[in-house]
Structure 1
């Protein structure tokens, strides 16, 4: 009997650590940490840029017995933009050769412009209103004339990365009484452009 009691006591003492471990508080696993990636940074448009453009235009002509036609455009542009956070503004010099014909063997040879533009940013896009001074050289009645005028329009550029952007704009020009011929030229152009930002 004494041996039985002694063996029982030894068994209980040996099992005590197991019971103690079984009564311990369960270990709480830490909650997983969810990392939210930062929102992509808005592109900065500040700086100089230059590029090329390609497009199509139509010239409306009135007075002087001249009518206008459509044709292709091709040219280049350089400019500077200032980024104000949610808005961008700047200026651009542009030159386009054209194939826009005029009746009687005439032609709009080129369009040049000094453009001011400003508008809001939406993500990588910059939309703007444009206005400025324009110049054209046109052949009318067998003579070549250069005439200054003005224009207005709209456009949008999209920043592909830090250095490159693509975009497009629609401009409407006005050149009154070109060369004293009584002919008013009103070219409207639509172009796409690619620019490199320095």
Structure 2
């Protein structure tokens, strides 16, 4: 009887082991999927040509001398709005570039005692820029040649005269790249347009202006 029970137990154990082995053989090992690693966005590069628009305020300051009536001075703030174009080259974090801008202004100075009004009609500059890039954020300084068309109206004599002034400008600014093509800027410029004679040297005008502007550029 003991021999029979032992044989039965051995048979049952062998059967159980066979079933377990068969089930284990049917299992297929599937490794866990590799984690998805997103590539870091490419660093912004400032090299390239750009076109843009700007708008802001121009604080015009003028000193005038009339050979017949003496001198006077004045200041006033007007609107400025225009376009710009330029090219940048980036070397590591250093960005250098050249830019030309041209704008309409409404800044004008009036003097009731002299019956005269001086309006700065157009303002432009051609400058070099040097900056430091923190990826898509750029801070820079600029300087170069400035030019503007000024018109003086003499209400007493019912005459007017327009002249072009040429001088210099220097400024600072910051620019931020929203995308690979669109950048926004905020900038301050001091502009010295020098002195120019009007009405056959009867009146001289010495003009300076402080310009604060914001703008958008499209980088190609």
TM-score by length of 1: 0.84
Q: Unpaired segments of 5 or more residues in structure 2?
A: 22-29, 66-71, 111-115, 155-159
Looking at structure 1, the residues matched to 50 and 16 of structure 2 have their Cα atoms a distance apart, in angstroms, of: 82
Q: Deviations over 1:169-189 (max 9, x none)?
A: 110011222326453211011
Structure with more strand by fraction: 2
The count of residues paired between Structure 1 and Structure 2 equals: 192
Match in the other structure for 2:219: 197
What are the ranges of 5 or more consecutive residues in structure 1 without an aligned counterpart? 21-28
| 1:39 Cα deviation from its structure 2 partner | 2.8
Name the structure 2 match of 1:111: 123
Q: Choose from 163, 184, 189 the match for 1:145.
A: 163
Among 108, 129, 137, the alignment partner of 1:125 is 137
C-alpha distance in 2 between matches for 1:78 and 1:4:
101
Q: 2 CA distance for matches of 1:119 and 1:9?
A: 87
Aligned pairs for 1:46-195 (under 5 A) are: 46-64=47-65, 65-103=72-110, 104-140=116-152, 142-179=160-197, 181-195=203-217
| Deviations 1:4-63, CA, capped at 9 Å, x for gaps | 23223323434456899xxxxxxxx97885555333212222222112111111012235
2: CA distance, partners of 1:5 / 1:44: 83
Of the structure 1 ranges 167-176 and 133-142, higher mean CA displacement relative to structure 2 is found in 133-142
